[in-house]
Structure 1
């Protein structure tokens, strides 16, 4: 029998009751088979600015900004009002045969921020569907141009591009594919461009040369006539905030252009202020991609929206083909959603009205305060750009399989941080930090102090229990 409405509303006001309902009915993302369909995760009651409040009433700094996305902070009245106003004006229209004003105006605004010539946008519902769209467009493009064999996609170890089938096939993080099927026959994986893990004694310049030569050799071996696209995050986010070595991205872009390989910059995380610009590809890394995927920060997480910016010349090529009736048979019910696009427009207003500049101004302080954590013996490296950083802890230097201890390290740091007032996103042995862009210097200092104390407490526990020698 269905629960009565009154009972559900009452339960919604009780965190313990909500967690019980979730454990009984809700399937969480990325579960393990031991607890799948029977798991309750930590309950968050509310958010305000850079803070969230948990079930115990603790006010926590939202270290990961939700999931890299709450860029203008929680409880923003302007975004909330726009969402209401647009819903009351037009809550939905079908993109199959009608157009709404917010989607058109947003397309114009986004084209103004993208690299020159990248002037078209296809809207999706999030990052995974954005990547899926970009890859399917590449396939369609080459089919229409009479190159049906030019479909292979080059990705990298350590990458994360989404959870839909083709997008997930691009992922290169350890264990992502252990139990899941993928289109692996369509994917070529290159080395992760992680300077911290480069061979001992190798300079950064030599390491960049090695990575570029690996791509060049791959093209020669496989054949440029079979490779349709290269996809890469300018900064590998979920892979551990991996910042590539100097010159890597422009040289990869040049190789793609030389061999007519479409360059897809996956900016689902790095766009909309995370690195101080609406799009970071050209402004930060000096590259002009053929496509840019985005999501997350485009609405600051207030509404599910994503998209793909596409170079206009690609459409010109298609219009000049001999296949006038070729159809790009791809679309989503919620493409160009009027509420999402209206929220994104207001979100851009907020970013452009000083927040982007403030982010650029405060980034050095954020990076330097977190970089100081390297004084702790457990911390192997702190790396990042803008308002995103990864703290990689190295507890096991000798074991062939350090996963067990690495997982323990991440869980302990997370537990201590939450007790002290900071929500983190532990990625096994790494703490990923990407707070709302509205964070100030004092709040950054508090965040760094909590991380320092939590890692120090974890060190002490590991030594005391004989799990780590320090």
Structure 2
């Protein structure tokens, strides 16, 4: 059937159909759908954005609580970012990375290497976070093949982790429901416990819990054999797993064990890099780590263009160059690797972050965390946790058991619906609400965000009591 084209009212949306919601139900497959509605659903239409605000299809103005998907770090409608994209497109819109290169990619690699900790000195650019993690893992496999260790390929990951949607990266995921209906390379992945202090075993303080995690790590390596394990992949803060901030010193101890056993430490900073924790990279500046590789995406362009990458240690590259297989090829690449528009945009984004925003993010983060922490006086809230400008409101059936609500797993979606009506977009994760606003958010906007979230949770408590789903 021929498509019917309906023109919008003008401006940036000129030529966009006015009945986009109905068209989406007929033709658009959304990410993470359920089988009962796949290809037949329409989600909230977002029509406009400016600063920390977005406007939905009904004209309602909302604070962008999740900053898109942890990514609109500089906010919406930054003219200087849009201008860079235009100017670069008019100069060079694309070049093949297989046998040519462009100047913005080379300069961006230099800038990123300068900001990275330790010996991290070279960058491979990808199209996003999933492809960044996939690239790091494939590089680990290539590295061990060239070094004559074809069996050293197992990957250590953790419960609560989220590392992407491509096949190998998704195999590392450890969140509830991620793998219920999806396949993965289970023979390559070894899962460890989540470093979640809130749900640590009863009777353990946080230090004892950290010791338990470290001993589990050592025991698993001993049982499997270090000669079989190629890499450990970990988010400094487990983002989509519920903003899990690990115990102090835990990551540094894991890093040392990896070094002792010649296991590559891959720090997944797809969320935490480029200002979310107040620095370009959190691994070194926040956690005191010097990983073998760092993966990044999202905030590198503030969501204005799909770009990601892997920062690789000079040591690994030197070992490859010194190997007995100089013709061994890292047969991996993407059509849009080192895209000139994305790299030019990222350079301007980095300028603004370093000149204006990182210091503001570090200044406003304690206020953000303190104000959100006040929500713990609500009976439905088990814990508010976070670091920098990322936080999670964890709702529980009761604080003694710390169990998520079992009778209504969509409690986060209920809170989001109320907050949407009140002027705030929330990211619901089953029984949790994740907040990670643009880094430019002000104290006053934080106050408004927290007030709306409080009212949204309060209305949800009333709903649950009325429906007999919760007695708190």
TM-score normalized with structure 1 length = 0.97
Consecutive unaligned residues in structure 1, runs of 5 or more: none
2:53 — aligned with what?
51
SS at match of 2:330: coil
1:3 — aligned with what?
3
C-alpha contact (below 8 Å) 2:298/2:308 kept by paired residues: yes
- Aligned pairs for 1:105-124 within 5 A: 105-124=107-126
2:131 — aligned with what?
129
1:171 — aligned with what?
173
Note the alpha carbon deviations across 1:363-420, whole angstroms, 9 max, x for none.
Answer: 0000000011001110000000000000000026799996653423112111110011
| Match of residue 201, structure 2, among 199, 202, 206 | 199
| Match of residue 271, structure 1, among 270, 273, 295 | 273
1:376 — aligned with what?
378
> For residues 404 and 22 of structure 1, what CA distance do their matches in structure 2 show?
32
1:454 — aligned with what?
456
- Aligned pairs for 1:72-111 within 5 A: 72-111=74-113
Note the alpha carbon deviations across 1:111-135, whole angstroms, 9 max, x for none.
Answer: 1100131000000000000000000
> For residues 86 and 142 of structure 1, what CA distance do their matches in structure 2 show?
38
* 1:303 is the counterpart of 2:305: yes
- How many residues align? The count is 469
C-alpha contact (below 8 Å) 1:157/1:171 kept by paired residues: yes
C-alpha contact (below 8 Å) 1:396/1:405 kept by paired residues: no
2:369 — aligned with what?
367
2:158 — aligned with what?
156
Note the alpha carbon deviations across 1:22-77, whole angstroms, 9 max, x for none.
Answer: 11011100000000011111100000000000011110000000000000000000
1:348 — aligned with what?
350
> For residues 7 and 457 of structure 1, what CA distance do their matches in structure 2 show?
39
Choose 410-419 or 85-94, whichever is displaced more. 410-419
SS at match of 2:409: helix
C-alpha contact (below 8 Å) 2:95/2:339 kept by paired residues: yes
> For residues 400 and 243 of structure 1, what CA distance do their matches in structure 2 show?
17
- Aligned pairs for 1:136-151 within 5 A: 136-151=138-153
Shift of 1:9: 5.5
Shift of 1:458: 1.1
Cα pair distance change 1:25/1:396, threshold 3 Å = farther
C-alpha contact (below 8 Å) 2:7/2:17 kept by paired residues: no
Shift of 1:201: 2.0
Shift of 1:465: 2.3
Cα pair distance change 1:296/1:334, threshold 3 Å = same
Note the alpha carbon deviations across 1:315-374, whole angstroms, 9 max, x for none.
Answer: 100010100110000000000000000000000000001210010001000000001100
C-alpha contact (below 8 Å) 1:153/1:230 kept by paired residues: yes
- Aligned pairs for 1:385-464 within 5 A: 385-395=387-397, 405-464=407-466
Shift of 1:238: 0.3
Shift of 1:250: 0.2
> For residues 238 and 433 of structure 2, what CA distance do their matches in structure 1 show?
14
| Match of residue 208, structure 1, among 191, 207, 210 | 210
> For residues 152 and 2 of structure 1, what CA distance do their matches in structure 2 show?
50
Consecutive unaligned residues in structure 2, runs of 5 or more: none
Choose 169-178 or 300-309, whichever is displaced more. 169-178
Note the alpha carbon deviations across 1:56-113, whole angstroms, 9 max, x for none.
Answer: 1110000000000000000000000000000000000000011101000000000110
1:339 — aligned with what?
341
> For residues 169 and 83 of structure 1, what CA distance do their matches in structure 2 show?
34
SS at match of 1:189: strand
SS at match of 2:215: helix
